[in-house]
Amino acid sequence: MKRVLLFVVTNIAVILVLSIVVNLLGIDRFLYTNGINYWNLLIFAGIFGFGGSFISLAISKWMAKWSTGAQVIMQPRSDMEIWLMSTVQKQASQAGIGMPDVAVFESDSPNAFATGMNKNNALVAVSTGLLRTMRRDEVEAVLGHEISHIANGDMITLSLIQGVVNTFVIFISRIVGYFVDRVILKNEEGHGLGFFITTIVAQIVFGILASVIVMWFSRKREYVADAGGANLAGTGSMIAALESLQRSAHEPLPDQMTAFGISGKPSKHGFKLLFMTHPPLEDRIEALKRSVGR
């Protein structure tokens, strides 16, 4: 309930901030002169901007299980499943969160992810490849990384940021569309073709720019989750787990889970890094080594 309230409050705050900016820049007068109610536009942008993020977050557990084929462990059937359940339970208790659902999905690639809109009702899933190729202390570090994502509320925070940028993108792209249609193309009745084409193009361009902000936040949270995994399972184990990922063939998770996996798409430097959910593994390893003076 608190998280739903946070979504609503943030949505209202964004609309108010946009309203103030619109007034200061005089955009409201331009819109009213051209027969456009900017308050309606603001509310429309807020509802659609946050609505999509909220719905995605609300169904994230179901989508994760459906898209990866992850099977929740209801009754442990092997020593490995018993160990997985007990390790997650121990770490969840240490992190002060409720016991997440624990699942395993078929993949030769070593990976894991966490999702869910409530830190006391989340999901942690690991791949069969990760269980086969990593030592137990490394798997424990990976689990600690995912538990830290949940405990830090990274899923809800990333969704809020996505909602904020979505709202700005929807609002600004339509302002640009109105301007081109009415001022440049001199259309005086309704929405002309210029409005629709310009709005679509602007939304694509602004959406790409906005994704840079979201990806930047995601990369920052990976360092924090690594530190959390090190705290729960030991820095040496966390470093060893990341080094093991470096040596492994990597298959990315579905897009909606990528930000909360232990590793994203293959690490890149330079311009491409701006659009990556995860920092390069070597940078994450170096950050952990610096934290212990190694």
Q: Where in the sequence numbering do the catalytic residues fall? A: 146
Residues 6+ apart with CB under 8 A from 256: 56, 60, 63, 64, 67
CA nearest to 225, candidates 209, 249, 241: 241
51 vs 34: CA distance, rounded Å: 28
- The structure tokens listed for 15 are 């609309």
- The structure tokens listed for 256 are 């909606």
3-state secondary structure of 73: coil
Helix (H) or strand (E) holding 284: helix 281-291
With tokens 């830090």, the residue in question is 152
Spatial contact of 227 and 137, defined as CB atoms under 8 Å apart: no
- The structure tokens listed for 205 are 């361009």
